[in-house]
Structure 1
Amino acid sequence: MALAVAIWSVASNTARDEERRNRHTEHYALTSQQRIKTDCLNREVVAMSQCISEIIQSSNEEKRNEADLQAQKGMDRWAFWMLVVSTFSAVVTSVGVIYVALTLREARATTAAAIRSAVAADKTLIEAEKATKHAELSVTLASEALIATDRAWIKITCDAMTDLIFEEDIISLSVQYTYENIGDSPAINVTIFQPEIFTDASKAIERLDEHVETCDRTQKYNSVINSGIPMFPDQAVSEPFHFVLDTDEFAARIEEIDQYQRDDAVGRGTLAPTVLLFATYRLPGDEKNRITGVMFSLRWVGLDGVAFDAKPKIVAKDMVDLSSTGFGSRLS
């Protein structure tokens, strides 16, 4: 806009200067004619010619001076308006720079606010996830607590039915084992595993851990242990079983363990044969396999920590302490 005003002003002044120059040209022509009539016509031919030439030269000089003056005025006007336009442009540019700076500052502030909002949103999301996990855990714990109070529980007991006989080649014992649902709801798919006897508790624990691992693995791959019997509360299953253990294996195990015991250690030279009973079952509406595994160690009645050596003998059944070992049992 300032440039348009400058062009209009310069053009207007140029037109006025042109008009003024035309008037001056006419004035110079009349003045020159008047001077020639007055000063030159009454002279001789040579003098008259020289006089006319001087008057014309003087008139041309004045016209050139007037043209130079008008040109200088035009240049001054252009310079002035260019200064005005440049100043106006500088002001506009400064305002624009300030506006851009303010815009950038607002943009940075907006970006920082957006970042803070995103961080706050992430924290809120994390807190929400934590709250969800806590809620899920609370529901799981409440459900487990409810199941624990009303669920089925399989209890296993074992009693000696005959004397414990140590012969030259075998060790034998007949027992009566009982699996009983002592819980408040039915147990389904109850599967009772084959009873086993081992030279000592550590061997029985190894076998028990194998049972537990197999149970977990078969559950993971859609267990094939799914054709057991149901057991209602207070219902029991009881069966006799006859165990046979190799005497040489029992004696070798005693010698192996004695290598790690002091000479005066209690129970040195003896070992407690261990019976393992194991069962799996499920709760109604639950696909998880539950287990009950119990080990029963054979010891002398009344002699804490003392078990049996491998020498031939007959131990009356009322002298056999067939007690469960809680440290090696499994229950879920």
Structure 2
Amino acid sequence: MSVTQSDELFASLPSGIDICHQTFGDADDPAILLIMGLGGPMGWWSTPFCELLAERGFFVIRYDNRDTGRSTKLRHHTVGRTDIVRAFTGLPLIGRVSVPYTLGDMAGDAIGLLDHLGIERAHVVGVSMGGMIAQTIAIEHPDRALSLTSIMSTTGKRTVGFQHPKVFPVMLSSAGRTRDSYVERSLKGSKVIGSPAFPSDDVMARDRAFETYDRGWTASGVTRQMLAVLTQPDRTKALATLDLPALVIHGLNDPLVHRSGGKATAEAIPGAEHLEIAGMAHDMPAQLYATYVEAIARTAARATSAAADDSPS
């Protein structure tokens, strides 16, 4: 089956943010909005993965978050290392640090992109930080989300979804000032958070790291996104008010966002499906694409069924 893939396009939002995006499939099909995690450009939703979703009858949208890839960089907002440390330790921020933007602002970017594309409602799928943004969309813009899929993410509650100490040296290390140093640091990080049961191809991992850097990777952009994550609210109570089909996917071997984050998310959302995968860590191995796509399609079908039940007979 041949899948139509658009060129990369830009949506200029009223906020002044330009969002680079790309689509797969037929615009008349139900839309799926894919939201990537910290520092990840839209290409981390690989083309084969997007094509699999499109083949299941979805209009697939992937995009670069602000401060990532070819979307707007907010370089005029500077964040210091002490700001990150203060936020990570939970010390008071008011009056001491200016947060450039919040996860709510990033959710607003996603809604602005849907507006630009003329899409009223979409199935929302997010991974890691993208899962936090997807949850925020469902909470703050409930009329725009048909279903919610949150992958290897958490609720914002500090006592769940925590990091294993082994990830700190890589997280806090410098990526250097060159393309090659960034790639080498990226590969080291992939080894730490990669899925032990589903190893990635080293050549493909290196190529992806080069592509990420070349699309416009900036250390300051990642830092601003990290501050938005570290200062996020606890969404547990708000998640309990959601009324839509929801799926929570988490790896049992995730060192970056402990599986307790996925468990707490699934327990908070009424009727959520909780899919835990042995041997999966904090990545999306190609070996699991069929599993992800089947689960996402199953969740979307629940939304279709619910809509049919609610329609006048």
TM norm. shorter chain > 0.5: no
Question: Greater relative contact order (Cα 8 A, min sep 6): structure 1 or 2?
Answer: 2
What range is the shorter-chain TM-score in? under 0.3
CA radius of gyration, larger in: 1
Question: Taking structure 2 as the reference length, what is the TM-score of the superposition?
Answer: 0.19
Q: Which has the higher helix share?
A: 1
Question: Taking structure 1 as the reference length, what is the TM-score of the superposition?
Answer: 0.19
Q: Which has the higher strand share?
A: 1
